[in-house]
Amino acid sequence: MKIVKTVAAVIVVAVIVVWLAIRFHRAYEPGPERLQGQIEAREYSISSKLPGRIARVLVRRGNQVTAGQTIFTLASPEIEARLEQAEAGKAAAGALSRQAENGARPQEVQAAREQWLKAKAAAELMEKTYVRIQSLYDDGVLPEQKRDEVYTKWQAALHTEQAARAVYEMAEEGARAEIKEAAKARENMAAAMVKEVEAYADETTVKTYHDGEVSQVLLRAGELAPQGFPVVTIVDMEDAWVVLQVREDLLERFHKGAEFEARIPALGEGTHRFRVTYLAVMGDFATWRPTDTSTGFDMRTFEIEARPLEPIEGLRVGMSVLVDL
């Protein structure tokens, strides 16, 4: 009986020793490597090219939006006033262009012709008068001074006739080609100014160029929106990835194109497969890690990005991602 008790005691002690040995071994045995990262996604800021007061914001946080959907509108009386000015300038330039193209009115041409005929008749009369005065001068009846006065009046009448004829011909011919081209160019410039202001007016209705979910609404109706200031931000969860900080001694497992399994605790215990799409070209912060019992060195840390091979339902920015090595 005494021998049995002794054997039992030995067995119990042996079990305790083995158990303690296993516990000590597990306590000092290096645990499995685990990397932790987080989900990020493409974010877009919806802003206006123009400063103005927000008239309406048509979305709320959490709304799904599609490319081409109106996000907010601006109230800009200044743009409306500039558009009216530009349209008035276009109308005036068009009228001047048509005037240059059509030339003088028929009444103006007729008036210029009458002035020329009048000057022509006066020149012919002065020519006949001069002939008579010259004859009287040759007979010695009139002095030379009188003849010279009549001659001067005749020459002046000829020049007046030529000037009146030139005015008539210009009226009949219309504007020069250069003037027509200049008038047409001014009309085109005014039309371009109208298009420019209309383009600015279109910018008062701000749309999104991307699909996504509204994450922030930074300004409300009635508030002033500076030029380029983000009024609404959207996140495209279809373009999501995980960011991990990987120590350089583990990089061989995460080269560009490598695939790995990871868990997302927020979505349950299942795993998801990712592929590395980006590896930082330069290391970031360093972590000291001993390589043996006597020495160690600083290992650089590299950032990697990996995208899921398949869409993950319920994925959100900021969710933790765990990779067990």
Helix (H) or strand (E) holding 231: strand 230-247
Q: What is the pLDDT of residue 79?
A: 76
What pLDDT digit, counting tens, does each position of 158-211 carry?
Answer: 888 888 777 766 666 655 666 667 767 787 887 888 887 787 788 889 999 999
Amino acid at 268: G
Distance CA 15, CA 17 (A): 5
What pLDDT digit, counting tens, does each position of 47-78 carry?
Answer: 988 888 999 999 999 999 999 999 999 988 77
Find all residues with CB under 8 Å of 264, minimum gap 6, and list them: 39, 272, 312, 315, 319, 320, 321, 322
Please check whether residue 40 is in contact with residue 15, taking contact to mean a CB–CB distance below 8 angstroms. no
Find all residues with CB under 8 Å of 250, minimum gap 6, and list them: 33, 35, 325
Find all residues with CB under 8 Å of 47, minimum gap 6, and list them: 206, 225, 227, 228, 229, 230, 231
Q: What is the pLDDT of residue 174?
A: 56
Helix (H) or strand (E) holding 216: strand 212-217
Q: What is the pLDDT of residue 145?
A: 83
Given a cut of 80, whether residue 283 has pLDDT beyond it is no
Alpha helices in the chain (DSSP H): 2-28, 77-102, 106-138, 144-173, 177-202
What pLDDT digit, counting tens, does each position of 303-325 carry?
Answer: 999 999 999 999 999 999 999 98
Amino acid at 66: T
Given a cut of 80, whether residue 256 has pLDDT beyond it is yes
User: For domain 31-73+212-324, which architecture applies?
Assistant: Beta Barrel (2.40)
* pLDDT, greater one: 37 or 81: 37
Alpha carbons within 13 A on the beta-carbon side of 189: 9
Q: Is the dihedral of CA 124, 127, 133, 134 positive or negative?
A: negative
**CA separation (Å) from 195 to 77, 198, 202, 318?**
17, 5, 10, 45
